[in-house]
Amino acid sequence: MPDYAFITQWWFDAPVERVWEAIRDSERWPEWWRSVRSVKRIREGDADGIGDVRRYKWRGRLPYSLTFDMTTTRVEAPSRIEATASGELAGNGVWRLAADNDGTSVRYDWTVRANKRWMRLLAPVARPLFAWNHDAVMEDGERGLRRLLEKR
């Protein structure tokens, strides 16, 4: 059972294909998502990206970083990407995109377990701080993606 289950929802005044392109190209996230410190391709997947493995290093508002690998398990362009996390976080992430009122709605479901020992030990009291940090990271992503889409 996951320690954390988050749902993030965004809306952009841009076509779904443009939003898809930015989310799909996670190796460029550090250019516009300030919480993403680095993304490195570990293994290339098939033509659709299934089996692709990328290593992400994140840092939010709290004074720690998290590094984990994401293995892409499902891609339905331009509406869905699913991946499994392993490393300092383990679990599943699902991006869902849909055309919505001349724009694009985005939903990200993230169910994870923290594997860092100190995080597991502190979870009973620090859970609200960890959740706040996650929300701040996702707000950074929304702001950065909005700026990126406005430039194009």
pLDDT tens digits, one per residue of 97-128: 999 989 999 999 999 999 999 999 999 999 99
Summary count for the chain: helices (H), strands (E): 3, 7
Residue length, the chain?
Answer: 152
Residue owning tokens 């300092």: 88
Q: Rounded CA gap, 95 and 132, in Å?
A: 20
Q: Rounded CA gap, 42 and 137, in Å?
A: 23
Residue owning tokens 């392109």: 21
Mean per-residue pLDDT, 63-81: 97
- Number of independent structural domains in the chain: 1
What is the structure's pLDDT at 151? 87
What is the structure's pLDDT at 10? 98
Helix (H) or strand (E) holding 17: helix 16-24
Q: What band does 152 get if pLDDT is binned at 50, 70 and 90?
A: low
Query: Looking at the predicted structure, is the pLDDT value of residue 141 above 90?
Result: yes
Q: What are phi and psi of 15, to 5 degrees?
A: -65, 150
Q: Which amino acid is at 40?
A: K
- Give the CATH number of the domain where residue 96 resides: 3.30.530.20
Burial of 128 (0-12, 13-18, 19+ CB in 10 A): exposed
Query: Looking at the predicted structure, is the pLDDT value of residue 19 above 80?
Result: yes
Mean per-residue pLDDT, 51-61: 98
- What percent of the chain lies above the pLDDT cut of 90? 96
Q: What band does 91 get if pLDDT is binned at 50, 70 and 90?
A: very high
Residue 91: give the domain boundaries: 4-151
Mean per-residue pLDDT, 143-152: 93
What is the structure's pLDDT at 2? 61
User: The whole model's pTM is what?
Assistant: 0.95
